[in-house]
Amino acid sequence: MKTALIALTIAFAAFGAHAQATTAVKEAGKATAETTKQGVENAKAATSDQPAKTVHKVKAKVHKAKAKKAADASKAAAKEAVK
């Protein structure tokens, strides 16, 4: 009975760590995707005329903010997984 309880406790701990690690990986992927989108918008801004350039620069700033938010979430999830 005691060994079953210990095994159950270990299983729950592993499940919790797996969930946190999954969140960290997912958020890191979001950060990478947003950073890539930011680079695309910056490239479009560099090659477009003035009215479109402004739009692309704004979109790039939005992607940068989303990437920062996702990176922060990823770091927080990674810290929680290690606890």
Given CA atoms 57, 59, 61, 67 in this order, what sign does their dihedral have?
Answer: negative
Compute the distance between CA of residue 55 and CA of residue 64 in angstroms, rounded to an integer: 14
Whole-number pLDDT of residue 27? 83
Whole-number pLDDT of residue 65? 92
Do residues 60 and 45 make contact, with C-beta atoms less than 8 angstroms apart? yes
Higher pLDDT, 19 or 57: 57
Contacts with 37 (C-beta within 8 Å, 6 or more apart), sequence order: 59, 63
Compute the distance between CA of residue 47 and CA of residue 53 in angstroms, rounded to an integer: 8
Query: Which tokens is 21 given?
Result: 């690690």
3-class DSSP assignment, residue 67? helix
The predicted-structure confidence for 24-77, as pLDDT tens digits, reads as follows 778 888 888 888 888 888 898 888 888 888 888 899 999 999 999 998 988 888
pLDDT over threshold 70, residue 21: no
pLDDT over threshold 60, residue 15: no
